[in-house]
Amino acid sequence: MTTDAARTEAIALKDKGNKAFKDHDWPSAVDFYSQAIDKYDADPAFYSNRAQANIKLEAYGYAIADASKALELDPNNVKAYWRRAIANTAILDSRAALRDFKYVCKKEPNNKDAKLKLAECEKMVKRIAFLKAIEVGDPPSAFVDLDIDSIQVPDDYDGAKLGDKMTQEFINDMIERFKNGKQLHKKYVYQIIKSVKDIVYDEPTMVEMEVAPKTQLTVCGDVHGQYFDLLEIFRLNGYPSDDHAYLFNGDFVDRGSWSTEIILLLYAFKWLRPKYFFLNRGNHETDDMNRVYGFEGECKAKYNEKVFKLFSESFSALPLATLVGKKYLTLHGGLFSDDKTSLDDIRKLNRHQQRQPGQAGLMMEMLWTDPQTAPGRGPSKRGVGLQFGPDVTKKFCDNNGLEAVIRSHEVRMEGYEVEHNGKCITVFSAPKYCDTTENKGAYINIGPELKLDFHKFDAVPHPDIKPMAYAQNSLMSMM
């Protein structure tokens, strides 16, 4: 095939990719752009377009690589600089983003949006430097000076009252209150966070549970502040009860604009039924992510800064994994950089010594890694963590007597995906993610026989509040 013919075919594939992108089908867009590159690898637009699709898939490491390749082919490609800046912002590398935003402003001095993004990026760099400067090794507990008993709830408060114990009546009232755009009184918020923090702090790093006869467990993936879609799960599948346990596998907050409603409701269920309701920490239950992706801003807007600090401390107390029936290891991200890592290593991990996951180590890998189709391990498409292949998953399951690993952390267009010859299962429970991705949500029901029963569901309408409404800057709105 001549070069001209290959380029013509590649352009046709790029056009299909553009159509898929317009339809919010990001995986298909990436696939078409990749096919175009296979046909003809000298057009910077193919890489730049794929970078944008990868941003939508949160594959920020891939997006940075694609934008950099586009710039190799065309050093003046302003779109590629812009997209690399956005991807670097997403992985919290604000200094790298700053360099690219400066180039965009230099090339397009009248671009008001670029000037705004540059100014916001400069603020982020300064804020990160400030937080690092005031960081202390072992900060005092946010609960130390919290005198909940002294806080008075006014007589005209129009919600249910909460005593020393959580009740189903209070939860029912809370659900309706949140649907109507109302908040809880801050005393009740403090009570819920404190009670759940104490419960989960005493749980092991890897909770081990069985599915008792005549009961079932439902495993849900990321819900990301999509409160009305969470209620749809309960409507379709039933609310938590003593014979219907739930496990939420991380990423309760950020992005969606009802994160406080979701986490307070999940915490309320945990307080009411601590032995039948389970919460694994996700990579978005961390300070760095909450500052950028909206949860900190939402806490401050709806309540106060104290609430965010209390949630932050409670997040660091959450377990990192749940072992279901000795067959399914459920954790947010995935597997490890070392084949010798075992369930005993997770059991022994003292998560209380390290509040935030950092850039390396067992906790980071449990929260951040992703599966890949190729054997072995590879660099992360996110720019954080790593990827693991089917051979890694098989070896881990064989060595630890597991049937499969259940994880979340990634959008799946059908809500779930069974990979690695059935050994790696991804479940994602935020349909129409961020109001832009045309994906379904899913959850998994597991009965006493430990068979997996997959259920898909569609997004439901919600009030007209956009995702990332409480993010501290508009940089994130570009993703």
Residue 266 to residue 264: CA distance in whole angstroms: 6
Do the Cβ atoms of 328 and 321 come closer than 8 Å?
no
DSSP string, 46-101: HHHHHHHHHHHTT-HHHHHHHHHHHHHH-TT-HHHHHHHHHHHHHTT-HHHHHHHH
- Smallest Cα–Cα separation from 468: which of 455, 478, 456, 454? 478
Residue 244 known to be catalytic: no
**Both tokens of residue 221?**
């993936």
Residue with structure tokens 């950092």?
358
CA 425/CA 422 separation, integer angstroms: 7
Dihedral of the CA atoms 404, 227, 282, 183 (nearest 10)? -150
Beta-sheet pairing, 370-371 with 386-388: parallel
Measure the CA–CA gap between 310 and 271, rounded to whole angstroms.
16
Catalytic position from the list 24, 185, 244, 284? 284
What SS3 state is found at 156?
coil
Q: Can you name the residues that pair with 453 across neighbouring β-strands?
A: 445
The answer to whether the beta carbons of residues 215 and 244 sit under 8 Å apart is yes
Q: State the CB neighbour count (10 A cutoff) for residue 87.
A: 32
Residue 372's SS3 state is coil
Q: Is the dihedral of CA 123, 126, 128, 134 positive or negative?
A: negative
Long-range contacts, stretch 134-140, CB < 8 angstroms, 24+ apart: none
Region of 204 (left: φ > 0; alpha: ψ -120 to 50; beta: rest) is beta
Backbone φ and ψ of 406, nearest 5°: -105, 125
Please choose, from the candidates 55, 56, 49, the residue with its C-alpha nearest in 3D space to the C-alpha of residue 35: 49
Catalytic residues: 284
